[in-house]
């Protein structure tokens, strides 16, 4: 089986309903991330817009406010999907892990460009925050049921 065929089959299997009930830790990761993403997305659209704009790189060619609003909508969608669609947890969790990887340049930009936001007002705090992203990716993969037994 070629690499493309294996990838296609893997993606197809993610889209199918989960065949087994989630484990306790998997379910807690799904529910916790669902609540966190719903809150974070809502905060993008309301009270924390300025802080989230600090994470959009200065070099990014799209208006910072538009990026923050769009990512807020995406985060609310992820949160709702995690909470309301447990049978699709593999697909949603894997997609959320990819989303966390995709937004990591914004976190590194905040560090490199020395933008203060969310109380991250020193290089040390901004650097420490970078280490939280792998934990979020791991939690999203746990919610998705990875690694599979």
In a domain, 57, yes or no: yes
Q: How many domains does the chain have?
A: 1
Q: State residue 18's pLDDT score.
A: 62
The Cα–Cα gap between 42 and 38 comes to 6
99 belongs to a structural domain: yes
**What residues in the chain have per-residue pLDDT under 70?**
1, 3-20, 149
Residue pLDDT, tens place only, 109-139: 999 999 999 999 999 999 999 999 999 999 9
Residue 71, domain member (yes or no): yes
Cα separation, 115 vs 109, in Å, equals 8
Is position 7 within any domain? no
Residue-level pLDDT at 23: 81
Q: What is the pTM of this model?
A: 0.85
Q: In this predicted structure, what is the pLDDT of residue 149?
A: 58
Residue 76 domain-assigned?
Answer: yes
Write out the residue range of the structural domain in which residue 112 sits. 23-144
Asked if residue 4 is part of any domain, the answer here is no
Segment holding 136, helix H or strand E: helix 132-144
């Amino acid at each position: 089986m070629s690499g493309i065929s294996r990838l296609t089959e893997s993606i197809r299997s993610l889209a199918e309903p989960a065949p087994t009930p989630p484990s306790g830790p998997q379910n807690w990761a799904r529910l916790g991330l669902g609540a966190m993403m719903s809150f974070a997305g809502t905060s993008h659209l309301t009270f924390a817009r300025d802080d989230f704009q600090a994470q959009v790189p200065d070099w990014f060619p799209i208006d910072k406010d538009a990026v923050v609003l769009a990512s807020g909508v995406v985060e609310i969608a992820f949160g709702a999907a995690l909470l309301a669609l447990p049978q699709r947890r593999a697909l949603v969790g894997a997609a959320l892990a990819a989303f966390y990887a995709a937004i990591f340049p914004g976190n590194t930009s905040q560090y490199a460009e020395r933008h203060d936001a969310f109380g991250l007002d020193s290089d040390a705090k901004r650097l420490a925050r970078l280490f939280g992203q792998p934990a979020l990716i791991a939690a999203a993969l746990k919610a998705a049921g990875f690694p599979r037994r």
